């Protein structure tokens, strides 16, 4: 049950990370500067309704797996990746989004958002594939 919950949430976040990486963040460069701050606020609000519950459930399930299966090597790699994802999200991406909301369009920050989001795209892919491979 816990594995299934994490697989479901990791699948959502992996897909979302790749959509954001390849489509959504790069398209921010095309948003007109005079509408950007409003767009960014709405982006954060709408994305939060999807990402926050999935991230919380995924973290809880991952920590649950580490607790229930402490002897399985995969659970420690999984937990480490989840902690990396949370650190990247709240120490890198969230502050950039806050600056964009506060100050409006900034191409340097948008490019930094795209570049640093690779951490999350790759890590969520590793978590998701690892969960699948662990069950094979």
Tens of pLDDT, residue by residue, the chain (136 residues): 899 999 999 999 999 999 999 999 999 999 999 999 999 999 999 999 999 999 999 999 999 999 998 887 888 899 999 999 999 999 999 999 999 999 999 999 999 999 999 999 999 999 999 999 987 6
What's the CA angle centered on 73, arms 85 and 11, to 5 degrees? 40
CA distances from 56 to 48, 51, 101, 109, 131 (A): 11, 8, 24, 26, 17
Assessment of whether the complete model's pTM goes beyond 0.85: yes
And the tokens for 1? Answer: 């049950």
What pLDDT is stored for residue 54 in this prediction? 97
Q: Which parts of the chain fold into alpha helices (H)?
A: 2-19, 25-27, 33-68, 73-88, 94-103, 107-135
For CA atoms 123, 16, 29, 96, give the dihedral sign.
negative
What pLDDT is stored for residue 74 in this prediction? 82
CA distances from 114 to 71, 75, 96, 136 (A): 36, 29, 11, 33
């Amino acid at each position: 049950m816990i594995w299934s919950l994490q697989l479901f949430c990791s699948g959502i976040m992996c897909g979302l990370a790749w959509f954001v990486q390849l489509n959504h963040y790069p398209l921010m460069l095309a948003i007109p500067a005079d509408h950007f701050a409003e767009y960014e606020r709405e982006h954060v609000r709408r994305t939060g309704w999807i990402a926050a519950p999935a991230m919380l459930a995924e973290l809880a399930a991952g920590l649950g797996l580490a607790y229930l299966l402490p002897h399985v090597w995969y659970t420690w790699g999984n937990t480490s990746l989840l902690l990396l994802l949370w650190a990247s999200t709240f120490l890198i991406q969230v502050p950039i989004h806050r600056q964009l909301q506060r100050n409006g369009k900034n191409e340097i920050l948008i490019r930094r958002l795209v570049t640093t989001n690779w951490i999350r795209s790759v890590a969520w892919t590793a978590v998701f594939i690892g969960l699948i491979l662990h069950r094979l």
